[in-house]
Structure 1
Amino acid sequence: MDSSQDPHPHPHSPGLSPHLHNVLTDLHRRPYPHVPNPPLCKKRASVALILRVRPTYDHWPSPTDIDIGDPELSVEDRLDDFFAQPWVKYGDPEVLFIKRASRPGDRWTGHVALPGGKRDPEDEDDKAAAIREASEEIGLDLTTDDCICVGNLPERVVTTSWGSVPLMVLCPFVFITTRCDSPMLRLQPTEVASTHWIPLRALLSSSLRTVEHVDMSQRFARQGGFLTRLAVRSMLGWMQFSAVRLLPAETVQCTSIPGFVPDEQSDKGSSSSLIQRFKSWLIRGDLNRPLLLWGLTLGILADFLDMLPPHTTVQQWKYPTFTAPDLRFIVSILTYNLRKRNARMVKSGARSTSDTALDAETAALSVTPGSNTSKHDDNEVGIGGLGVGRYYGPSDRASDGTSYAVGIMLRGYYQRLRVAIYVFIAWRMALGSAAAIAGWRLIRRRLR
């Protein structure tokens, strides 16, 4: 077995670092094109995918072994020099995530995400926005000599969850720090609750694949109040999304956020508000759920991770569905042919563009210059975990502009999902009507 595919590699065998080197070099050589804003959508946002290599116990560097590199060299030369160091070659690559602070009305409250935010008018470009947001949210300067800006990942148009209204263009950028120690992070209390360095090995592990359950009643019954939402929730159940359970190698908590240390009043109130706690459980679920990567952020990471051995990240990704058994069955039936067709497109696309990837099974599809932004992709892919966002731009693979594996797999899926919900509602109404008629007949017989 290839040591890079072994979840527990031998300490004297190179791990993922050589493969990461190839991926980063490829991303720098073939940057994804700029995606303009769709009509009536002016907002842009950027996120920073920040990587580092943690030294292992058997290959710990001495002060004389550490070389942050010459910033005057080209990016490829800097990457070559960095990954040539023994402690890097045998090190453990990691990705930095944040857990957002809990804020009322925030769509992403408490979610695991990448550092980032909206582009301001004073930002020179999208990359400058990612650098500024990383500095403001976690206090990490990505412009220092010990940090390399590698390139970007596909830009995507983020839409409303069940609509086609574009909200913003999301631009992910990839950075790697050449330091061997942990940088001091300064977390902004109103934005970030904690930061977590997650090993790539953990993100690639099939044993950490799980699901996230999301209450969709708020989207279907916005004006109906608690009882309406409860009725919708009891009928539809939870919506289920593919997720990865995160195992942090290092965590930094923002201890200054309100509620980090419970006070006496909040502690007393917790035992007397059983109704509120029951209501919270019915609507929002368990607030102490484990640290999960899912939704939009998982979509950004999926294709990047699929370039790394064992190249199964996209295969492990599961389509969104519902927990109600009959609705789940209807979704499965109505989307069966579409899922098979999209899977074949991903597989054939990866093979035909292997010159741009690490091997024949990667989902990093090539793009060519051109313009194809006028055609609107009808996939309802939004920020609430409904998919991974959309990439509008030139592509040599698809007429609608999608050129990343998860985007191709989701093509047309949400249209079928909406139809499945309509069929499910009709089925439940028919079933309820039949049960009511049978009950009424039974009552009439007994009354005679």
Structure 2
Amino acid sequence: MESVGIAPELVAATRSVLEKLTASPYAVLESPESTKRRASVAFILRIRPSNAEWPMVGATKATLGEFFDQSYVQHGEPEVLFIKRAARKGDKWTSHIALPGGKRDSEDVDDQAAAIRETWEEVGLDLNKYSISCGNLPQRLVTTHWGKKPLMVLCPYVFLLSSFEIPPLRLQPSEVASTHWVPIRSLLSPRQRTVVFEDMSSRIANQETGVKKWMLSMILGKMMFAAINLVPTESLHSVESPADGSAVQLQDNRLARPSFQSKVSAFAQRVYHCDVFNQFSPPPRDGPLLLWGLTLGVVSDFLDLIPPHNALTLWSYPNFTPLDVRFAVWLMTYRFKERKRMELQSGTTLQKPSFGAVTESVAHRPDETGFHGLGTGSGTSTREAAVSTMLEGYYDIVRKAVGLALVGRVTLLTVIVYYVLKKLRRL
């Protein structure tokens, strides 16, 4: 019986995207005068063969056409390589899900060479020998303080492994805790979409420390961002990587606090096991692998090129956790969101959007006007929906909404204090 393959339509769509990226690469975004830092990441793809169509030994092809013409490729499943960064105290990227890559050094010939070198140093994969270069994804200026301060130019490059048989990955324990191959099919699945919680007090307080940052953290809670729950088909862990010292080592610090119900359930379990004082702690539990922030923005640039082109429908606006702040944001951004929808429905077309980035991204276009997350260069397709357009000006309104919510709290507290004092004087 003839094999139908795991995801033949997805393989064909991936081939089409890679051919277009190879033929029409994105333009290079020059570094601004305020910062010369550049970093590169490698978006590495492979085709996992099905059990019925296993590749022959030494099945390595030098071109995209030859590679995708192979039977095992046509019946396989495209996957992306992610890394989980090692836990390092004081590193804001600690334990994050990312793509292999890092800062460009002076010895690197260009940005692509930096991505190749960093991949070799971090995971021991020689892209020059085992991959086909497939162009790049939109370069972007990464900023902090909600777009106020430029940090670096991020340059993503796409590579396709030319063979499923490659040497075992060799992880750099000080940099990488684990690697994960994740199917594109699961990245596109609405069921894997979730949110991640991030402490934004330092960003609002302009990275100040002390009481002001602590107070903002208590007042504003955390901010919710779009995320994808990764479901790997193959993972490799480094036993030499430093642990973060917590029971849950996969980004649990980004998740919501345990609910009252979960606390009661945990206590009941301890009673059941005669361990009321929690003397015998349970074995460590791996938390979810959450793809979010800047890496999600890079990945979404690629996902949005694959049918059904529904990145926008799977995305949600960032917001805060406290109800009063959420209400203020909703109230002040309601007309803004409606206006953005009308602009997009009226026929506005943008190129290769991205979404979910915690730090805003500014892309290079001739008609650039400060859009966040736009692609650079000529697009392979046009769309009427772009999260980059929807986020333009959004954070400015959010800052005002936060101020309104804080004024509302102070006003309410003042009224309560005045009412209590008035009652006490009558006694």
Fold in common (TM above 0.5): yes
In the other structure, the counterpart of 2:170 is 186
- Change in CA separation of 1:47 and 1:327 when aligned onto 2, cut-off 3 Å: same
In the other structure, the counterpart of 2:183 is 199
Amino acid at match of 2:361: G
In the other structure, the counterpart of 2:380 is none
The question of 1:68 aligning with 2:57 is answered no
Say whether the 8 Å CA contact 1:101–1:109 is kept in structure 2.
yes
In the other structure, the counterpart of 1:54 is 48
The question of 1:94 aligning with 2:66 is answered no
Alpha-carbon distance in 1 for matches of 2:357, 2:424? 46
What's the CA shift for 1:231? 3.8
In the other structure, the counterpart of 2:18 is 24
After superposition, the C-alpha distances for 1:274-302 in whole angstroms (9 at most, x for unaligned) are xxxxxx97999689641100010111111
Which of 329, 333, 336 pairs up with 1:335? 333
3-state SS of 2:31 partner: coil
Alpha-carbon distance in 2 for matches of 1:165, 1:387? 10
Say whether the 8 Å CA contact 1:23–1:308 is kept in structure 2.
yes
In the other structure, the counterpart of 2:379 is none
What's the CA shift for 1:317? 1.3
Say whether the 8 Å CA contact 1:300–1:388 is kept in structure 2.
no
In the other structure, the counterpart of 1:356 is none
In the other structure, the counterpart of 1:119 is 104
The question of 1:364 aligning with 2:331 is answered no
Say whether the 8 Å CA contact 1:394–1:401 is kept in structure 2.
no
- Change in CA separation of 1:340 and 1:10 when aligned onto 2, cut-off 3 Å: farther
After superposition, the C-alpha distances for 1:381-423 in whole angstroms (9 at most, x for unaligned) are 99x952552213335xx54466443322211111111111111
What's the CA shift for 1:426? 1.1
The question of 1:170 aligning with 2:154 is answered yes
After superposition, the C-alpha distances for 1:166-213 in whole angstroms (9 at most, x for unaligned) are 111000000000212354111111111111101001100000100001
- Could you tell me the percent identity over the aligned residues? 44
Alpha-carbon distance in 2 for matches of 1:344, 1:138? 46
Say whether the 8 Å CA contact 2:197–2:254 is kept in structure 1.
no
3-state SS of 1:328 partner: helix
After superposition, the C-alpha distances for 1:121-151 in whole angstroms (9 at most, x for unaligned) are 111111111111111111111101x311100
Alpha-carbon distance in 2 for matches of 1:283, 1:67? 43
- Change in CA separation of 1:124 and 1:343 when aligned onto 2, cut-off 3 Å: farther
Say whether the 8 Å CA contact 1:21–1:83 is kept in structure 2.
yes
In the other structure, the counterpart of 2:228 is 244
Say whether the 8 Å CA contact 1:302–1:406 is kept in structure 2.
no
After superposition, the C-alpha distances for 1:308-328 in whole angstroms (9 at most, x for unaligned) are 122212221111101111111
Which of 105, 109, 134 pairs up with 1:150? 134
- Change in CA separation of 1:420 and 1:93 when aligned onto 2, cut-off 3 Å: same
State how many pairs are aligned.
Answer: 383
Say whether the 8 Å CA contact 2:147–2:359 is kept in structure 1.
no
In the other structure, the counterpart of 1:373 is none
In the other structure, the counterpart of 2:38 is 44
Say whether the 8 Å CA contact 1:46–1:129 is kept in structure 2.
yes
- Change in CA separation of 1:343 and 1:224 when aligned onto 2, cut-off 3 Å: same
Say whether the 8 Å CA contact 1:387–1:410 is kept in structure 2.
no
Alpha-carbon distance in 1 for matches of 2:122, 2:7? 36
Alpha-carbon distance in 2 for matches of 1:161, 1:190? 28
In the other structure, the counterpart of 1:136 is 121
Say whether the 8 Å CA contact 1:392–1:400 is kept in structure 2.
no
In the other structure, the counterpart of 2:264 is none
Which of 234, 245, 253 pairs up with 2:237? 253
Alpha-carbon distance in 1 for matches of 2:253, 2:122? 30
Alpha-carbon distance in 1 for matches of 2:15, 2:347? 24
3-state SS of 1:58 partner: coil
Unaligned runs of 5+ residues in structure 2 are 259-284, 376-385
Say whether the 8 Å CA contact 2:35–2:150 is kept in structure 1.
yes
Alpha-carbon distance in 2 for matches of 1:293, 1:281? 14
Unaligned runs of 5+ residues in structure 1 are 1-8, 71-77, 261-265, 271-279, 354-362, 366-380
Amino acid at match of 2:60: I
- Change in CA separation of 1:258 and 1:325 when aligned onto 2, cut-off 3 Å: same
Alpha-carbon distance in 2 for matches of 1:141, 1:282? 33
Alpha-carbon distance in 2 for matches of 1:141, 1:216? 38
Alpha-carbon distance in 2 for matches of 1:29, 1:58? 33
Alpha-carbon distance in 2 for matches of 1:143, 1:407? 33
In the other structure, the counterpart of 1:394 is 366
Alpha-carbon distance in 1 for matches of 2:241, 2:149? 34
What's the CA shift for 1:32? 1.0
- Change in CA separation of 1:423 and 1:301 when aligned onto 2, cut-off 3 Å: same
- Change in CA separation of 1:80 and 1:433 when aligned onto 2, cut-off 3 Å: same
TM-score (normalizing by structure 2): 0.82
Say whether the 8 Å CA contact 2:324–2:405 is kept in structure 1.
yes
- Change in CA separation of 1:281 and 1:140 when aligned onto 2, cut-off 3 Å: closer
What's the CA shift for 1:345? 4.7
What's the CA shift for 1:436? 1.3
TM-score (normalizing by structure 1): 0.78
Which of 322, 325, 344 pairs up with 1:324? 322
